[in-house]
Structure 1
Amino acid sequence: MESIVDLPAQTDRTANDHVSAITGGYVDPALTAIFDGLRETASEGPSPVWSVLNDSARLRAVYDTGLIQTGPHPEVDQVVGLTIEAVGIPYAALNMITDVEQVHAAIASRSGEIGEQRTYPLPDSLCVYAVVSGSPLIIDDIADHPVLRDHSAAQSGVVGAYIGIPISDDAGHAVGTLCAWDTQPHHWSSGEIQIMTDLADVVKNVIFDQ
């Protein structure tokens, strides 16, 4: 995962070292910084993560897609349904990250059900990590993940494996992700990652009329 320009400097070194000591492995400082920043956003107000999510140009790009509005979005729904078929995973969605007040809007496909729209709060979102970093988030087994194993999605059993590819406009503003997940662990092969990346490009072309 690529570093966030202003986030690694905000990382709590003690917390990072603690996680490393527990797992005995490398912990991505950028991901840890985002994790800590999200907690600050939820409990203490503005943080570097808040600044990224609430950037006016990024929010304008989100709302300009028209996908936050209720109603059918057949072209997007079709790509999301294709994602499930192509990757062979039971759940997929195009998740649009709005802001820290109305954080998460989803045009989702669950096991072939097209067009379900839901909203849920920032702490329950995995896609927000990909949006803030601008890099894919790939998790084979969230229960073994050194940073996200205590995430609500892991604790609830909703997510065992996850992949999220950020969707950005031409100016580089990440508006959301194309994601897929399973309730069980799953090793994401290089072929599956490429499929997700290609489909994310299709979604970008659809929503930005390219």
Structure 2
Amino acid sequence: MSGIELRELREGLVATVVGAGVDEFATNWLLKRISADPDALESVIRMTLNGSARLDALKSTGLMDGGPQPALDAIATMTAEALAVPSAAVSLLGGDEQFLAGYTAAPDAPERWRPLSMSICKYTVVSGIPFIVDNATTHPLLCDHPVVLSGEIGAYAGIPLFNADDQAIGTLCTFEQRPRLWTRGQIMVLQDMADVAAAKIFG
């Protein structure tokens, strides 16, 4: 895959994450490209997530050892309570896995670790912009996603977490089983809580 193709795929991803009406040409191009080659977007995702600077930033946090992080669990819980949703998480993405370093579930919940194939946060991290989805079942990137097809996630909102060098290592995200309309106020609260999470991780 050429550098131009990689750039176009990433631009299409950003347009699709931002939402309908922003850049319909880029979104439609991305969807046609994925239809012709389902692995094309995955190549962009893996190349971005495996970037050496990003992985160094992730490693420097010391959080991927999987140990308990009560402070991040508390941030996730406060986020869920503030938004009146059942689930929120501080999600960190390695090169081939996702770890929920902060989560509203029990500290030893097995679903804290997941392969990238089960991650929605990867789109947030790779695009580098908030990913707000009211109805995952109709979203072009998510309608065929395993966690959407299973009924686990019907709505999702995620904010990327950046270090001082602008490397996105993960997200603060919230989600629930049924579609819902995220309000402007809720997104602002989520952004504020993401700032708190980033300060805790990198401070």
TM-score band w.r.t. shorter chain: 0.7 to 0.9
Cα distance, 1:69 vs structure 2 = 1.4
Q: How many residues align?
A: 185
- Check if 1:167 corresponds to 2:161: yes
Cα distance, 1:66 vs structure 2 = 1.5
Q: Give unmatched runs, 5+ long, in structure 1.
A: 14-24
Which of 138, 148, 156 matches 2:132?
138
Instruction: Tell me how far apart the structure 2 counterparts of residues 163 and 28 of structure 1 sit (CA, whole Å).
Output: 22
What does residue 60 of structure 1 align with?
Answer: 56
Which of 81, 91, 114 matches 1:95?
91
What does residue 187 of structure 1 align with?
Answer: 181
Cα distance, 1:7 vs structure 2 = 4.0
- Check if 1:149 corresponds to 2:147: no
Instruction: Tell me how far apart the structure 2 counterparts of residues 150 and 31 of structure 1 sit (CA, whole Å).
Output: 18
Q: Label 1:195 to 1:61 Cα distance change in 2 as closer, same or farther (>3 A).
A: same
- Give SS of 1:92's match: strand
Cα distance, 1:107 vs structure 2 = 2.2
What does residue 81 of structure 2 align with?
Answer: 85
What does residue 45 of structure 2 align with?
Answer: 49
Cα distance, 1:41 vs structure 2 = 7.2
Which of 93, 97, 118 matches 1:124?
118
Cα contact 2:9–2:30 (8 A) shared by 1:
no
What does residue 198 of structure 1 align with?
Answer: 192
Report percent identity of matched pairs: 34
Amino acid at match of 1:58: R
Deviations along 1:35-78, one digit per CA (max 9) or x if unpaired, are 94983476xxxx33222111111001111112111222122111
Q: Give unmatched runs, 5+ long, in structure 2.
A: 13-22
Once structures 1 and 2 are overlaid, which stretch shifts more, 91-100 or 139-148?
Answer: 139-148
Amino acid at match of 2:45: V
Cα distance, 1:27 vs structure 2 = 7.2
Instruction: Tell me how far apart the structure 2 counterparts of residues 121 and 189 of structure 1 sit (CA, whole Å).
Output: 30
Instruction: Tell me how far apart the structure 2 counterparts of residues 68 and 31 of structure 1 sit (CA, whole Å).
Output: 35
Instruction: Tell me how far apart the structure 2 counterparts of residues 115 and 154 of structure 1 sit (CA, whole Å).
Output: 24
Q: Looking at secondary structure, tell me which structure has more helix per residue.
A: 2
Cα contact 1:53–1:132 (8 A) shared by 2:
yes
What does residue 8 of structure 2 align with?
Answer: 9
Cα distance, 1:29 vs structure 2 = 2.7
Task: Give the TM-score, by structure 2 length.
Answer: 0.80
Instruction: Tell me how far apart the structure 1 counterparts of residues 29 and 59 of structure 2 sit (CA, whole Å).
Output: 26
Amino acid at match of 2:163: D
Deviations along 1:111-139, one digit per CA (max 9) or x if unpaired, are 6x456462111111100000001011110
Instruction: Tell me how far apart the structure 2 counterparts of residues 55 and 146 of structure 1 sit (CA, whole Å).
Output: 26
